[in-house]
Amino acid sequence: MNRTTQQGRRTFIAALGATLAGAALPAWAKYQPDQFRIGYQKAASTLVLLKAHGSLEKRLAPLGLKLSWTEFPAGPQLLEGLNVGAIDFGYVGEAPPVFAQAAGADFVYTAYEIPTPHAEGVVVARNSPIQRVADLKGKKVAFNRGSDVHWFIVALLRKNGLDFGDIQPVYLAPADARAALERGSIDAWAIWDPFLAAVLAQSNARLLADAQNVASHHQFFLSQREFAQKRKDVIAIAMEELGKEGQWVRQNPSAAAAQLAPIQGLDAGIIEAGLKHYEHIYKPVDADVLAEQQRIADTFYELKLIPRRIVTKDAVLA
């Protein structure tokens, strides 16, 4: 690991350390052959439902594996948990893997969800003078640093003739960003579902733009490299069960929303609206998807958002 990578990784860890300290992580060790440790976010509906339904536990029981689940507040924190050996498997958006790989994290892309561009967007106050994306120039735009909307904002600005330096980025977690928007201390907020559906339904906000024709908004299942190498059978079972959950969600969005409501703390109608913005269809990572990730990585490097150039295909099993 070169000096630039070391510095990037230290910065990455320092920025996330406080959050990780409060995440109730299990004991850290890289590969534990008798365990399968999954990291998830409450907004990751299919994984949350898989946990609630217990079907993966049943499938893995004959293998003698202990299955455990650890909740993370967002993708960047989950990636650092994966890097330090706290978990073996998790689900994040398209930008966190780029930041994590640039910081020296050792993981592999396992699968991806087909594009879901309507599942993220930029919102403004209903009475805001901002009517088009170009009006964001010079404005305070909040988003979760290192998350998938970090790339969405960069791509959206470029598509509309602006650069990332034309806005004032305000790095806030979802709850803090919504509060800031409602009190008028920021001008716009980039966010994903179900938070996007919630703010549009519950607050005096309107959608300025979503990611349609801007960003694919891929979601990824990632694995700790050694686990992926040694337990391909477990990964295959997990993806099979996730595929079944995804099919069930597509066929039963109201029932899925009703089950998620007490877990995610949102009204079932809001959750259902957000669920319909995701495809819940997962495929093995291919060259085209890795090429999209490479474009994100190259752009982030040009903007000095990551400390070094990376090759995204390095994060796949040979």
The 10s digit of each residue's pLDDT in 129-138 is 999 999 999 9
Between CA 223 and CA 225 the distance in angstroms is 6
Together in a domain, 175 and 87 = no
Together in a domain, 135 and 160 = yes
Q: Tell me if 206 is assigned to some domain.
A: yes
- The average pLDDT across 16-21 equals 37
**pLDDT tens figures, 73-127:** 888 889 889 988 899 999 999 999 999 999 999 899 999 999 999 999 999 999 9
**pLDDT tens figures, 177-236:** 999 999 999 999 999 999 999 999 999 999 999 999 999 999 999 999 999 999 999 999
Q: How far is CA 140 from CA 167, 168, 175, 273, 274, in A?
A: 6, 5, 17, 27, 25
Write the CB contacts of 306 (distance below 8 Å, at least 6 apart in sequence): 8, 98, 99, 102, 103, 297, 300
Together in a domain, 57 and 24 = yes
Between CA 293 and CA 299 the distance in angstroms is 10
Say what the pLDDT of residue 5 is: 39
Say what the pLDDT of residue 258 is: 97
Q: Tell me if 274 is assigned to some domain.
A: no
Q: Tell me if 84 is assigned to some domain.
A: yes
On the question of pLDDT at 56 being above 90, the answer is yes
Q: How confident is the model at residue 15 (pLDDT cuts 50, 70, 90)?
A: very low
Q: How many CA atoms lie within 13 A of 96 on its CB side?
A: 27
Q: Tell me if 273 is assigned to some domain.
A: no
Together in a domain, 300 and 161 = no
- The average pLDDT across 35-62 equals 94
3-state secondary structure of 171: strand
How many independent structural domains does the chain possess?
Answer: 2
Together in a domain, 86 and 139 = no
Together in a domain, 203 and 224 = no
Between CA 294 and CA 306 the distance in angstroms is 13
**pLDDT tens figures, 229-280:** 999 999 999 999 999 999 999 999 999 999 999 999 999 999 999 999 999 9
Say what the pLDDT of residue 244 is: 97
Together in a domain, 112 and 223 = yes
Together in a domain, 87 and 135 = no
Between CA 280 and CA 114 the distance in angstroms is 8
Are 81 and 20 in contact, with CB atoms under 8 Å apart?
A: yes
Together in a domain, 92 and 226 = yes
Q: Tell me if 271 is assigned to some domain.
A: no
Q: Which of 164, 184, 210 is the last residue of a domain?
A: 210
On the question of pLDDT at 24 being above 80, the answer is no
Instruction: Report residue 111: phi and psi, to 5°.
Output: -160, 165
Together in a domain, 27 and 67 = yes
In the chain, which residue ranges form alpha helices assigned H by DSSP?
3-21, 45-53, 55-60, 75-83, 95-102, 148-159, 174-183, 195-202, 225-230, 232-251, 253-264, 268-275, 287-302
Are 192 and 199 in contact, with CB atoms under 8 Å apart?
A: no
Q: Which of 181, 210, 239 is the last residue of a domain?
A: 210
Q: Tell me if 269 is assigned to some domain.
A: no
Q: Which of 19-23, 34-38, 96-100, 244-248 has the lowest mean pLDDT?
A: 19-23
* 38 alpha-carbon distance from chain centroid: 14
Q: Which of 193, 210, 227 is the last residue of a domain?
A: 210
Residue 73 is part of a domain; what is its CATH number? 3.40.190.10
Host domain of residue 7: 3-116+218-264+281-315
Q: Tell me if 64 is assigned to some domain.
A: yes
Residue 155 tokens read as 């791509």
Q: How many CA atoms lie within 13 A of 216 on its CB side?
A: 18
Q: How confident is the model at residue 16 (pLDDT cuts 50, 70, 90)?
A: very low
Q: How confident is the model at residue 17 (pLDDT cuts 50, 70, 90)?
A: very low
Together in a domain, 50 and 132 = no
Say what the pLDDT of residue 9 is: 43
Together in a domain, 125 and 90 = no
Q: Tell me if 62 is assigned to some domain.
A: yes
3-state secondary structure of 29: coil
